[in-house]
Amino acid sequence: MIAKVLLSIWMTLIIVAAFLYADAAAGFPGETSRILFFHVPQAWVATLSFLLSMIASCIYLARRSLKADNLALSAAELGLLFCLLATVSGSIFAKAAWGSFWNWDPRETSIVILLMIYGAYFALRSAVGDADKRRVFAAVYAILAFVTVPFLVFVVPRITASLHPENTMNPAKPGMDPKTLKVFLGSLLAYTGLFIWILRLRLRLLKLESMQEPEFVVREKIDQEGERQ
């Protein structure tokens, strides 16, 4: 409860600071550089949830625990959501900075592939009737999809040079002024907190849903009878 309130205050502060406290970076048309405080954390969370979903899938295949599958599913759902947000916000920036909403920049290509992988993941989940089979297949597909990602890192930069602003705005390199860096790191924290909060809500919901399933009810009854005896 307290964490939720703190998160909302923190998020509000970040939004205000992103527009009022940090200065617009030089070399970008107008105020467009402020996209950094929203777009990059969204892309970061989309990547984080992809990784989390893959790890949870591995754990599911090893232990067959329902919890791990729920985590893989909810991470993938949130990954899709943040992936869409990052695509849309990036596209708006592309229109303002490069003149077109979509130009198959390497970054745009890789995010579209990520979207397609998430879409395929949910298509697979909805197409398999048997619950155990569905969980195993989804886990296997998540791992396979994750394995192909490193190839994109090698392959995609070979197509064209990217216009993506990294050199001027990457925090690891000199060039980001301290104010921007502060707000940026705060925003990363806020988005990660938001992700964890929604993830926990989704996991609770999935747990409650699974309690409604007949097999769970039967198992509960057997457990209760066992306790009585």
Partner 1 sequence: MKNGRWITETGSSTYLSEAVAIWLRDLRGEFRTRYAVNAILMFAVTTLIAVSFSIGSFRIGEAEQPFLYAVLLWIILVFSALSGLSRSFVKEEEAGTMDVLKLSARPQAVFLGKLFFNLTLLGALELIIVPSFILLMNYEIELPGFFAAMVIAGGIGLGGGTTIVAAMIAQASARGALFSVLSFPLLLPLMITAIKGCEKAAVGANNPGWPEVRIAVAYSIVMIVMSLFLFPLIWEE
C-alpha to C-alpha distance for 64 and 55, rounded to whole angstroms: 13
Q: Which is nearer to partner 1, 144 or 205 (CB)?
A: 144
Contact between 162 and 105 (Cβ < 8 Å):
yes
168: Cβ–Cβ under 8 A, 6 or more apart, which residues? 25, 27, 28, 175
Q: Which is nearer to partner 1, 133 or 207 (CB)?
A: 133
Q: Helix crossing, 36-63 with 2-20: angle to 10°?
A: 140
Q: Which is nearer to partner 1, 113 or 188 (CB)?
A: 113
Cβ at position 20, least distance to partner 1 in Å: 41
Q: Which is nearer to partner 1, 66 or 124 (CB)?
A: 124
Cβ at position 124, least distance to partner 1 in Å: 6
Cβ at position 161, least distance to partner 1 in Å: 15
Q: What is the DSSP letter of 29?
A: S
Q: Which is nearer to partner 1, 44 or 141 (CB)?
A: 141
Q: Which is nearer to partner 1, 155 or 201 (CB)?
A: 155
Distance of CA 184 to the CA centre of its chain: 17
Q: Which residue matches tokens 């980001």?
A: 176
Cβ at position 169, least distance to partner 1 in Å: 27
Count Cβ atoms within 10 A of the Cβ of residue 128 and give its class: 0-12 exposed, 13-18 middle, 19 or more buried.
middle
C-alpha to C-alpha distance for 80 and 144, rounded to whole angstroms: 17
Alpha helices in the chain (DSSP H): 2-20, 36-63, 66-98, 106-127, 131-159, 178-212, 214-228
Cβ at position 155, least distance to partner 1 in Å: 5
Cβ at position 165, least distance to partner 1 in Å: 24
Residues that bind partner 1 (CB under 8 A): 61, 113, 116-117, 119-120, 123-124, 127-129, 132-133, 136-137, 140-141, 143-145, 147-148, 151-152, 154-156, 158-159
